[in-house]
Amino acid sequence: MAYWLFKTEPGCFSFYDLKNRPDRTEPWDGVRNFQARNFLRDTVKVGDRVLFYHSNIPEPAVVGLAEIVRSGYPDTTALNPDSEHFDPRASVDKPIWYMVDLRYLEPLQQIVTLESIKQTPLLAGMPLVKRSRLSIQPVTADEWRIILTMGGMKGI
């Protein structure tokens, strides 16, 4: 089982939106970056755990936990001219873009802010800290454990 961090702007889609979805599950569509696409298509697997991160807000932070319930499959929003994520280069035979399905698990007892992550030397290697804009990031087992502890999730 691997660990990931998924970024989203909560004004667009938040952890609480995920909680309110049927089955608390949502297709993670609209990723239009090749490195993130490669993770979704090739590496993210069912059962992997996800840190759900809210970006582009006054206090960006990891807010909750989710899990992968379906591994990579073609992102059909790329084929839909009415979608804001439409990509005319994509086709059924060559979908270009991929998505996975994500299911809500639980919120952190307390959010783990970007500021507190930056102040933690053991988390200095995270792409988040290096100011990468990558929206799908791998997380090591050590980083996962540290962030859950910071989030008050010692029982897990």
Helical H segments across the chain, by residue range: 15-19, 34-38, 114-118, 141-150
Q: Which of 9, 17, 106, 142 lies at the binding interface for DNA (CB under 7 A)? A: 9
Tell whether residue 131 is a contact of DNA (CB under 7 A): yes
**Could you give phi then psi for residue 153, rounded to 5 degrees?**
-105, 40
Binding range to DNA, per CB under 7 A, among 29-37, 41-49, 100-108, 145-153: 29-37
- Closer residue to DNA in complex, CB, 34/86: 34
Length of the chain in terms of residues written: 156
Distance of closest approach, residue 118 Cβ to DNA, in angstroms:
7
- Closer residue to DNA in complex, CB, 7/65: 7
Tell whether residue 77 is a contact of DNA (CB under 7 A): no
Distance of closest approach, residue 34 Cβ to DNA, in angstroms:
4
Binding range to DNA, per CB under 7 A, among 18-26, 43-51, 57-65, 69-77: 57-65
Tell whether residue 55 is a contact of DNA (CB under 7 A): yes
Tell whether residue 45 is a contact of DNA (CB under 7 A): no
- b/e code 3-24 from CB counts within 10 Å (16+ = b): bbbbbbebeebbbeebeeeeee
Count of CB atoms situated within 10 Å of the CB of 133: 11
Identity of the residue numbered 120: T
Tell whether residue 96 is a contact of DNA (CB under 7 A): no
Cα–Cα distance between 42 and 50 in angstroms, integer?
16
What tokens does 66 get? 């989710």
Tell whether residue 60 is a contact of DNA (CB under 7 A): yes
Tell whether residue 135 is a contact of DNA (CB under 7 A): yes
Cβ–Cβ under 8 Å, residues 14 and 102: no
Q: Return residues touching DNA (CB under 7 A).
A: 7, 9, 32-35, 55-58, 60, 114-115, 118, 128, 130-135
